[in-house]
DNA sequence: AACGCGGGGAG
DNA sequence: CTCCCAGCGTT
């Protein structure tokens, strides 16, 4: 596109956005902190999922200082069920830096802001353009999909080569005078019109510029590298009852589901029964001898790189005191107090069954 | 450059 | 069920 076409592209995009943009809670604020929180949540996560979390998080942590001083447990509880918990841990750490080093003001300099934990090129460009009107083009999944179609760009969007290619394209198209509006308009077109499946080209404000639309080649873009098949892992977990309480353990602070609480258990070995694995894992992980009383339920859950089938057992404590090998903390809790602890989604799927069964199950 | 990291929606 | 989606940090 020449400069005249680029101007028209920018104008049509923003005119459309003025009329068709969704009403979203983070579009009613100019507070850089709130926009930052929204962008962290929106990373890898769809708008409709984020909305209730955003309201609760902002109500609980309305400003940087409060978040900076909060306990890790409280921050994770606010994030419970949203996934990618490193986002919450990094946001928490970053808030402490903003509070202490920048007096609570979110830095508006690229180097300063993107040096914060969890702030990369996307969140950097999004927050600096939307909150501070700095001319950085966002390049997220929506933008890459739209640009791949408009320019029939065969660069795989999920490969490392795509980084520079789509970055250069996005930079060349950015409206330097209104970068925040322009960036949001382009992403909104990706979300509402130029969708992954069944794009609504007739309603698209930039369809006249789009080579994919003109040539009928949309179904070939964006191109992507094949993903690897995900293995399925069987897990046994035990709800260990003792004196009307149950045992939960806390995962180490980093890595998968870092810092969350769960019922102890682990992988079922090849050729091993689920019950045996449950007894073995609990002996190894928390040092307790238990008996398996009943099979409560089976839960299937998909992660990014593997799937699990979780066999959940009701168990009774026989003897031994808790000696942790893996987990970093433990509690004997009343089942109704589980709400106070952040737990993984896979655990949330069977906890309601525990509460319903409480009278018969916790009859000590 | 490749991998680890959750969860939700569409079909 | 299966397939699709996707920024940042670590290695």
Distance A288 CA to B10 C1' (A): 44
CATH architecture, domain defined by A232-361: Alpha-Beta Complex (3.90)
Residue A305's pLDDT is: 83
Catalytic residues of A: 39
Residue A364's pLDDT is: 42
Fold of A3-220: Endonuclease III; domain 1 (1.10.340)
Residue A356's pLDDT is: 67
Residue A66 makes CB contacts below 8 A (sequence gap 6+) with none
Please name the nucleotide lying closest to A139, CA to C1'.
C7
- Nearest protein residue to nucleotide B5 (CA to C1' distance) is A84
| Nucleotides in chain B near protein beta carbons (<7 Å) | 1-11
* Both structure tokens of A233: 């892992």
Strand B proximity: list residues 220-279 of A with CB under 7 Å: 228, 255-258
Length of chain A measured in residues: 364
Residue A360's pLDDT is: 54
Q: How far apart, in Å, are the Cα atoms of A64 and each of A75, A89, A124, A133, A244?
A: 12, 14, 17, 21, 40
The sign of the dihedral angle between the CA atoms of A109, A112, A113, A115 is: positive
Residue A164's pLDDT is: 87
Task: Tell if A45 CB is < 7 Å from nucleic strand B.
Answer: yes
Task: Tell if A85 CB is < 7 Å from nucleic strand B.
Answer: yes
Residue A359's pLDDT is: 47
10-residue averages of pLDDT along chain A (364 residues)? 96 97 95 97 93 96 97 96 95 98 97 97 97 97 95 89 89 97 96 93 95 92 84 94 97 93 94 96 97 95 89 97 96 96 93 72 50
What are the structural domain ranges in chain A? 3-220, 232-361
Question: Mind listing the pLDDT tens digit for each residue in A38-80?
Answer: 999 999 999 999 999 999 999 999 999 999 999 999 999 999 9
Residue A246: CA count within 13 A, CB half-sphere = 24
| Nucleotides in chain C near protein beta carbons (<7 Å) | 1-9
Residue A183's pLDDT is: 97
Residue A357's pLDDT is: 54
How far apart CA A305 and CA A71 sit, in angstroms, is 30
Residue A304's pLDDT is: 83
């Amino acid at each position: 596109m020449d400069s005249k076409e680029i101007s028209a592209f920018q104008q049509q995009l923003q005119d459309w956005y003025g009329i068709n943009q969704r009403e979203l809670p983070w579009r009613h604020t100019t507070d850089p902190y709130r926009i930052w929180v929204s962008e962290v949540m929106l990373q890898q996560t769809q708008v409709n999922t984020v909305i209730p979390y955003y309201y609760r998080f902002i109500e609980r942590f309305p400003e940087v200082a409060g978040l900076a001083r909060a306990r890790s447990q409280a921050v994770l509880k606010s994030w419970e069920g949203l996934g990618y918990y490193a986002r919450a841990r990094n946001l928490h750490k970053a808030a402490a830096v903003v509070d202490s080093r920048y007096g609570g003001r979110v830095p508006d300099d690229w180097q300063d802001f993107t040096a914060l934990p969890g702030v990369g090129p996307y969140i950097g460009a999004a927050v600096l353009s939307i909150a501070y009107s700095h001319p950085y083009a966002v390049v997220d999944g929506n933008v890459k999909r739209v640009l791949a179609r408009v320019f029939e760009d065969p660069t795989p969007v999920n490969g490392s080569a795509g980084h520079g290619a789509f970055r250069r394209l996005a930079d060349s198209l950015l409206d330097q005078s209104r970068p925040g509006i322009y960036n949001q308009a382009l992403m909104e077109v990706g979300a509402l019109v130029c969708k992954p499946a069944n794009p609504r080209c007739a309603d698209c404000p930039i369809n006249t510029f789009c080579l994919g639309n003109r040539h009928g080649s949309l179904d070939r873009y964006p191109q992507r590298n094949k993903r690897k098949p995900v293995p399925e892992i069987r897990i046994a977990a035990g709800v260990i009852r003792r004196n009307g309480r149950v045992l939960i353990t806390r995962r180490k602070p980093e890595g998968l589901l870092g810092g969350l609480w769960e019922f102890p258990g682990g992988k079922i070995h090849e050729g091993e029964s689920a019950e045996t694995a449950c007894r073995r894992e609990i002996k190894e992980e928390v040092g307790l001898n238990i008996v398996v009383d009943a099979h409560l339920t089976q839960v299937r859950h998909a992660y990014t790189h593997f799937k699990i089938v979780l066999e959940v057992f009701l168990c009774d404590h026989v003897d031994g005191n808790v000696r942790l090998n893996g987990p970093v903390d433990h509690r004997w809790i009343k089942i109704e107090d589980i709400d106070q602890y952040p737990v993984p989604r896979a655990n949330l799927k069977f906890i309601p069954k525990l509460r319903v069964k409480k009278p018969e199950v916790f009859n000590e």
